[in-house]
Amino acid sequence: MPITTRREFMRSAIAGGTLLSLGEHARATAPLGGPQAPGYYRMRLGTYEVTIVNDGARSFPMPDRFVRNVPRDEALEAAQAAYMPPGQVTVPFNPTLINTGSKLILIDTGNGPVAGGPVGRLTENLAAAGVRPEDVDLVLISHLHPDHTNGLKTAQGTLAFPNAEIRAASPDWAFWMSDTHMARAADAVTQAYFANTRKVLADLKDRVRTFAWNEEVAPGITALAAPGHTPGHTAFAVASGSDRLLIQSDVTNIPAFFLQHPDWHVMYDYDADQAQATRHRFYDMAAAEKSLVVGYHFPFPSLGHVERAGSGYRLVPVAWSAAL
């Protein structure tokens, strides 16, 4: 089948009279719309209601060792294949809100207040979804990285979810809140993570309760061991009736990189080999069970199924539905 170029298309359109003639005037019937629409997406899971709440997305020049074990040019090719901005990588952020009927549970809290930036939109998108911060009963933290914990505080340093119980995985809390481990941090990224835990969480030590892997942390929500990205990194299985959802947190970062190439090592992983093993284990399970998966760094609304594809996996996004 011949490929039509843009120039050939324009010639054809002009010949057919489908473009405005020189004597006609094109007028916009309305002013430009301005800001993006609120970012939230709802679905039903059994009797539960699940809302994916967008916290924004950030594009930045790809660091030299963004993928530690492949050449930067190869990683840039993957970014180009995913139509990311030239020379850059784009990372979305999407916390999950679960209404069980008796509890309103938020899993991860986003980047926190970032004035005028492309991220930090959780609070405004919760409001657009009709959720007040004071109505959240429980906040579950998958791991203690800044883009998951900073939304615990407002710009004034007060609690963003004042009535919520806060829980974190026991091994992650023990690691990141340890002064001994902080003193041993060898690279700048890890040092910055330790510093951020002190900034955001130091005054919450008596408020945060920990949970164990395989514990039912809320009705129908079970914590799953998914270490490697951090020592206590946690995914969650949500079940209501016969329906099941896997909240993968950061088992993979960007799917165009680390889902399609599960053996690639992202610079943010604490133990890259363990994270690689976790990716294979988690996605083999998700593919075998045909589970619906929500990924914190998947493109919004960050819901889809995972299938095996060669030596890696591919994401099959859900179709957008206007009805619950």
pLDDT tens by residue, 17-46: 554 444 555 565 788 888 888 899 999 999
Residue 38, pLDDT score = 84
Phi, psi of 52 (to 5 degrees): -90, 125
Which bin fits 34, alpha (ψ -120 to 50), beta or left (φ > 0)? left
pTM of the model: 0.91
Residue 8 has pLDDT above 80, yes or no: no
86 closest CA partner among 66, 63, 61, 65: 61
What would the mean pLDDT of 77-97 be, rounded to a whole number?
96
Residue 126, pLDDT score = 97
Angle at 52 between CA 308 and CA 90, to 5 degrees: 65
Residue 22, pLDDT score = 45
The string of DSSP letters for 170-238 reads: HHHHHHHT-HHHHHH--SHHHHHHHHHHHHHHGGGTTTEEEE-TT-EEETTEEEEE-TTSSTT-EEEEE
More confident residue, 88 or 1: 88
Distances (CA, A) of 189 to 182, 185, 298: 12, 9, 22
Whole-number mean pLDDT of the chain? 92
User: For the segment 245-272, what is each residue's pLDDT rounded down to a tens digit?
Assistant: 999 999 999 999 999 999 999 999 999 9
Residue 78, pLDDT score = 95
**How far apart are alpha carbons 41 and 320 in whole angstroms?**
9
Residue 18, pLDDT score = 52
Q: Give Cβ neighbours of residue 195 (< 8 Å, ≥ 6 apart).
A: none
Residue 30, pLDDT score = 82
Residue 49 has pLDDT above 80, yes or no: yes
What would the mean pLDDT of 133-155 be, rounded to a whole number?
97
CB 26 within 8 A of CB 20: yes
Q: Which of 16-25, 195-204, 283-292 has the lowest mean pLDDT?
A: 16-25
Instruction: Calculate what percentage of the chain has a pLDDT beyond 90.
Output: 85
Residue 166 has pLDDT above 50, yes or no: yes
The total of other beta-carbon atoms located within 10 Å of residue 146's CB is: 17
CB 92 within 8 A of CB 298: yes
Given CA atoms 268, 270, 272, 276 in this order, what sign does their dihedral have? negative
Distances (CA, A) of 155 to 4, 12, 92, 151, 152: 52, 56, 21, 9, 10
Residue 91 has pLDDT above 90, yes or no: yes
Residue 242 has pLDDT above 90, yes or no: yes
CA of residue 29 relative to chain centroid, distance? 37
User: Which residue ranges make up each domain of the chain?
Assistant: 40-317
Residue 7, pLDDT score = 67
Residue 228 has pLDDT above 50, yes or no: yes
Instruction: Calculate what percentage of the chain has a pLDDT beyond 70.
Output: 91
What would the mean pLDDT of 38-62 be, rounded to a whole number?
96
The total of other beta-carbon atoms located within 10 Å of residue 299's CB is: 18
User: For the segment 133-142, what is each residue's pLDDT rounded down to a tens digit?
Assistant: 999 999 999 9
Classified by CATH at the fold level, domain 40-317 comes out as Metallo-beta-lactamase; Chain A (3.60.15)
Structure tokens at 229: 């990205």
